[in-house]
Structures are given as structure tokens and as C-alpha cells.
Amino acid sequence: MTLDRDNVIATVKDIVITEARAAVEPSAVPDDEPLAGPLLNVSSMALLGILTRIEDEFGSAVPDDLFAGRSLKTVRDLVELVSLPAEEAPK
């Protein structure tokens, strides 16, 4: 399945804003915005909600070992997680 990057970015931003309960429009969130920064202020519990919603929205599970060697610090990191090449994508 090929995902349109612009749609992935918009969807991920919507999910992050909703789960973080941030009072900001998606268009005001840069791709390199820190998740734990002052604009989004994503808590560890919100991050779990974000990952669950991403799994639900894009229809695939994100295995725990996928995070080995990766860090999720920005909106872009979440987008890249969704946009992984097929050989790295969760099965």
C-alpha cells in the first residue's frame, strides 16, 4: 500500500494535536516540531495514545522492536515511522 506523504503528515499532525490536547491548528505545527516542546507538550501517556491511533488509522501494528535504535522526538519522526519502506514496515 502506497501512502501519500502529505496525507500522512496531515493525519499524524491531527492525531498528535488531539492526543496532546494542544490548542493549535495542524498548519501551525512544523514537521520538525518537538513532541515534548512547548507547542505540543506531549506526555508519555499521550505518546502511547498517539502510537495506538497511528496503528488504528494506518492499519498496522507497530512492533516494540521497531523502536530499537530510533527515537520519536518530532512530528517528522512519527511520519517517518508510518512511511517506512516495505521491508521495515510492521507485518
User: Within a domain: residue 13?
Assistant: yes
Domain that includes residue 18, residue range = 5-82
User: Within a domain: residue 58?
Assistant: yes
CB 36 within 8 A of CB 42: yes
User: Within a domain: residue 60?
Assistant: yes
pLDDT for res 65: 61
What's the number of domains the chain is made of?
1
pLDDT for res 89: 47
CATH of the domain at 48: 1.10.1200.10
Computed over every residue of the chain, the mean pLDDT equals 84
User: Within a domain: residue 32?
Assistant: yes
What are 29-86's pLDDT values in tens digits?
A: 999 999 999 999 999 899 989 989 998 998 876 666 665 556 789 999 999 888 765 4
pLDDT for res 90: 45
Hey, what's the cell of 35? 513532541
User: Within a domain: residue 88?
Assistant: no
Q: Report in angstroms the alpha-carbon separations of 61 from 5, 31, 54, 79.
A: 19, 23, 9, 15
